[in-house]
């Protein structure tokens, strides 16, 4: 499943949608500290946003910024009318309560979908803002016409950013979902029962070819830096047994940024009253 090709198409669609809005949507990012990986993620997001015609504003606070500084900046961005979307890059430096910061973002602007209101809407089966990676996974499965209705879907990894939300999206599409994690017994047996297997653990090679059912659809979310380069959580040999598989890199990764842009336009539409946001 070619994430690059689909992401490119979605980004072009977003650019087209943006050109039809009364003004460019505003996306503000907040980066606290000097984490090198976060810096790269933020730069990539900004580049993609600009290419789509989104106004991206890069806010930075020093590593020793206090919780009050971060909460103050978030409040400022909540209050600015020209800002439609607020994204606080995680992880935050030690000593800053991430939950508190996540709760401080105005829900309608929370394009990451981490605020309890948006997470709750997903739980209720009435999704509003949903984290970008799970949205990208569903978009890929749809692009390749993967039948989810009644399918056995196994998700490995239960993070707030990937595992849990993707499990909910799959459930909403009538898959029978098993959510596995580091304490799951008989992980391999469960994986082997999957028509659709989503792996998001950050453990290179966790899923081997023998753990994949013949013809299954495999979504590899993992990004692991190894001596041989970047690899996923699924062994390369699994591709031969799988019917469809996402490559790493070039699968889920590019989709995440494309869906963030799409969510930013969604936030802009919520705020213009073109889409109903259930909290208004
Ligand atoms: P996380 O560390 O928050 O969660 C990892 C999950 O994997 C946990 O729920 C844990 O229980 C489970 N796990 C760990 N070891 C396991 C084992 N041996 N067996 C079964 N389950 C196990 O990670 P995350 O933020 O969800 O990210 C997971 C991976 O996906 C990472 O490699 C990350 O870099 C990648 N990721 C990629 C994208 C993308 O855009 N492609 C986005 C987010 C995360």
Express each pLDDT in 185-201 by its tens digit.
999 999 999 999 999 99
CA of 222 to the centre of ligand 1 (A): 6
pLDDT in tens, 102-158: 999 999 999 999 999 999 999 999 999 999 999 999 999 999 999 999 999 999 999
* C-beta of 256 in contact with ligand 1 (< 6 A): yes
Residue-by-residue pLDDT tens, the chain, 280 positions: 999 999 999 999 999 999 999 999 999 999 999 999 999 999 999 999 999 999 999 999 999 999 999 999 999 999 999 999 999 999 999 999 999 999 999 999 999 999 999 999 999 999 999 999 999 999 999 999 999 999 999 999 999 999 999 999 999 999 999 999 999 999 999 999 999 999 999 999 999 999 999 999 999 999 999 999 999 999 999 989 999 999 999 999 999 999 999 999 999 999 999 999 999 6
Is any ligand 1 atom within 6 A of the Cβ of residue 253?
yes
Ligand 1 near 131 CB (within 6 A): no
Q: Which atom of ligand 1 is nearest to the CA of 136?
A: 40
DSSP the chain: --HHHHHHHHHHHHHHHHHTSSS--EEEEEEES--HHHHHHHHHHHHHHHHTT-EEEEEEE-TT--HHHHHHHHHHHHH-TT--EEEEPSSPPTTS-HHHHHHHS-GGG-TT--SHHHHHHHHTT--SS--HHHHHHHHHHHHTT---TT-EEEEE---TTTHHHHHHHHHHTT-EEEEE-TT-TTHHHHHHT-SEEEE-SS-TT-B-GGGS-TT-EEEE---EEETTEEE-SB-TTHHHH-SEE--TTTSHHHHHHHHHHHHHHHHHHHHTTSS--TT-
Which positions are catalytic?
Answer: 45, 89, 112
């Amino acid at each position: 499943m070619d994430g690059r090709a689909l992401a490119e198409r979605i980004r072009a669609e977003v650019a087209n949608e943006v050109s039809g809005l009364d003004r460019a949507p505003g996306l503000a990012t907040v980066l606290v500290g000097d984490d090198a990986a976060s810096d790269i993620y933020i730069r990539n997001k900004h580049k993609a946003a600009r290419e789509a015609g989104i106004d991206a504003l890069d806010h930075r606070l020093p590593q020793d910024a206090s919780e009050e500084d971060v909460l103050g900046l978030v409040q400022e961005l909540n209050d600015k009318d020209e800002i439609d979307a607020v994204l606080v890059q995680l992880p935050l430096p030690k000593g800053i309560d991430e939950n508190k910061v996540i709760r401080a973002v105005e829900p309608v602007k929370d394009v990451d979908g981490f605020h309890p209101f948006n997470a709750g809407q997903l739980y209720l089966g009435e999704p509003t803002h949903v984290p970008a990676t799970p949205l990208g996974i569903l978009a890929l499965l749809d692009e390749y016409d993967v039948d989810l209705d009644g399918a056995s879907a196994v998700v490995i990894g239960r993070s707030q950013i990937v595992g849990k939300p993707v499990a909910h999206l799959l459930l909403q599409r009538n898959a029978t979902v098993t959510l596995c994690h580091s304490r799951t017994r008989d992980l391999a047996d469960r994986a082997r029962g999957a028509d659709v297997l989503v792996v998001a653990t950050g453990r290179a090679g966790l899923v081997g070819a023998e753990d994949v059912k013949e013809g299954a659809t495999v979504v590899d979310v993992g990004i692991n830096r190894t001596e041989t380069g970047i690899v996923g959580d699924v062994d390369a040999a699994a591709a031969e047994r799988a019917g469809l598989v996402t490559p790493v890199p070039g699968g889920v990764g590019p989709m995440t940024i494309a869906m963030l842009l799409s969510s930013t336009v969604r936030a802009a539409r919520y705020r213009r009253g073109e889409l109903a946001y259930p909290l208004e």
